[in-house]
Amino acid sequence: MLLRILPALSFALIVGAVPNPQQAKPGGQPKCRFSPCYTQAQILNDPNPFISDVLYWEGRFHQNNVSYNSYNGMSYDGTLLDESTGLATAKHPFSAASKEALQIMLYAHAMVGSPQAARFLSPDNTGAAPDMAMNIMALKLKTYLRFNETYPGFGGFLPWFTGDSMDIQPTWDWVNRVPALDNGELIWAVYSAIQAMETSSNRKYQNLARQWQAWLDYIKLTAAKVFYAGNGVVCAVTDIGDQSFPINDPRQTYKCEGSGTLNDPYEGELFTWWLYFFGGLSRKDKDVLWKVKRPQLVSVEYKMGGVGPITVQKGFWFSAHEQWKVMEIPYYDVDLVKRLFTNAERARTCNSVVTKVPGMFASVNNSTDPTTGQIIGYISNAGIPSIANQTVQEVDVITPYSVFPVVLIDNAVGMVWWKNMADGKKMQNPYGSSESTRVDGTAMSSFVSWDSKITTVNAILGGVSDLVRQKMKTDSIYNEFISVTQREYGAVFKNLKGENIGLCLPSKKVPDRGLVDYTQCQ
């Protein structure tokens, strides 16, 4: 079979340097259904006009009562869309620390004056974007602090919460419970935002940085108490004795829920780093944190349909979601990690070509039932079975956000894959891209969420690792971050195979099986 292979890395360097005459004027409104108007070749030649349109329309998700609450600054999980018009119907009034992380990373970029973040947040008045972000960050902190006053048992961390009144509450199923993974994502997002604010020349930003720093300093004190069970065991979910008792109340208790421990070498590692650097653990406990994680960091070779071998880090499912950690901390400063994660995207893109799939896989919400408008279920087990720990997978639904790790490496190739999925019927709506589509084009998900959309936007913005690196240096933890990462990855990955293989480009389209585009996105 014929693979369309591109020497992607050198290519990206070249296009990055070329000025771009046909870029849309800032503030101009592109057509809602813009994706099919571009060709692959146009995006590869210069991804910036396409990216400008993506940012504009993904930014329509950032509206009060759609993706966040402008009264308290908190994110909403997402919203269902009308099957015919594509307009928001029933929002999910709840959210979690992971969505907060995506929102805060975006604001970090806006506060340092990123034109791309401004295009997303405030395309009609890009100059207003930094203050807009800063004001929401101020409201959000007030909400976090009121939550901490009412529910001091969380130690400042967030459970899944409902956010549609001024004060947030744990959702009914998260009363007295708190997850580590999502909070790890939140912590480093806040860390980046503080860096953005404290380096501003504006007093207001500097003051807000100090207030957020107090929150961060507080969760340094509580992290081990809430999540660390000793002997390297970090609770995946902690059961809290009583969320309304203060953390040091003699009646208060913390214990891991069931046998679930946070020891994954994927996004859960963000929380491990926090404990490692700031949890106040002994040298012995710090070392054992990595020791218990070691068996999960595994090398595996991708080989299929004439592609490979490509050495990659074995995935849990190999869902794109698992790569989240590189968006937040400067892992790519370790050359071995950058090369290994580039290999992962060689495998991800080429796998979809050899298996003739028009997009890529990541854990995602399933299609909506067109008669009820409700989501059928959540597909966790979506990735690449041959290079995953979990080999039983459902690989019939693809999602635009599966491109975000590709975008971090080569934004042109990433956007070409995004286009290929967005071109599917109904895959664009008045809030940007839709959640997911079946590979066979028979159904899709009339839903929009932070995870399925704003991961890609944050990857377009380059993630926040540049900001995090600076603050890690100020905090004198950067060198140790590099040496531990080098030590752990270097012990498992010696010589990488497949580095000469290019990223692959999509060759199949999502079939038109009669779904009709939304009337409000033409």
Ligand X SMILES: *[C@@H]1O[C@H](CO)[C@@H](O)[C@H](O)[C@H]1NC(C)=O
Selected from 261, 319, 367, 411, the binder of ligand X by CB under 6 A is: 367
CB of 149 to ligand X, least distance (A): 6
Residue of 195, 268, 206, 167 whose CA lies nearest to 474 = 195
Query: Where in 472-501 is the site for ligand X (CB under 6 A)?
Result: none
Binding residue for ligand X, selected from 58, 77, 345, 488, defined by CB under 6 A: 77
Angle between helices 180-198 and 203-227 (to 10 degrees): 160
Q: Which residue is nearest to ligand X (CB)?
A: 377
- Considering only residues 94 to 113 of the shown chain, the ones binding ligand X according to CB under 6 A are none
Peptide bond preceding 309 in cis form (omega within 30 of 0) = yes
Closest CA to 12 of 57, 58, 44, 53: 44
44 touches ligand X by CB under 6 A: no
- Residue 323 C-beta: closest distance to ligand X, Å: 13
Which CB atom, from 17 or from 172, has the smaller least distance to ligand X?
A: 172
Binding region for ligand X (CB under 6 A) out of 103-111, 127-135, 330-338, 365-373: 365-373
Query: For residues 381 and 21, what is the distance between their CA atoms, to the nearest angstrom?
Result: 43
Residue with token string 């975008």: 407
Looking at the Cβ atoms of 23 and 207, the one nearer to ligand X is: 207
Rule CB under 6 A: say whether 18 interacts with ligand X.
no
Tell me, residue by residue from 435 to 454, as one string, x for binding to ligand X by CB under 6 A and - for no binding: --------x-----xxxx--
CB 50 within 8 A of CB 460: no
- What character string, x for contact with ligand X (CB under 6 A) and - otherwise, covers 213-252? -xx--x---------------------------x------
Is 261 a binder of ligand X (CB under 6 A)? no
Encoded tokens for 288: 């054992």
Give strand pairing partners of 81. Answer: 88
Residue 145 burial (CB < 10 Å; 0-12/13-18/19+)? middle
Which H/E stretch holds residue 287?
A: helix 283-293
Distant-in-sequence, close-in-space partners of 274: CB < 8 Å, separation ≥ 6: 184, 187, 188, 219, 220, 223
How many whole angstroms separate alpha carbon 193 and alpha carbon 464? 9
Q: Does 156 bind ligand X (CB under 6 A)?
A: yes
User: Could you say whether residue 364 binds ligand X (CB under 6 A)?
Assistant: yes
Which residue in the block uniquely carries the two structure tokens 């975006």?
106
Report the distance separating Cα 458 and Cα 400, nearest Å.
13
By the rule CB under 6 A, 386 interacts with ligand X: no
Q: Closest separation between CB of residue 123 and ligand X, Å?
A: 22
Instruction: Check residue 90 for interaction with ligand X (CB under 6 A).
Output: yes
Sole window of 229-237, 251-259, 335-343, 363-371 interacting with ligand X (rule: CB under 6 A): 363-371
Number of residues that bind ligand X (CB under 6 A): 34
Element (H, E) at 521: none
Q: Residues interacting with ligand X, by CB under 6 A?
A: 65, 77-79, 88, 90-92, 145, 148, 152, 156, 214-215, 218, 246, 295-296, 363-367, 376-379, 389, 394, 443, 449-452
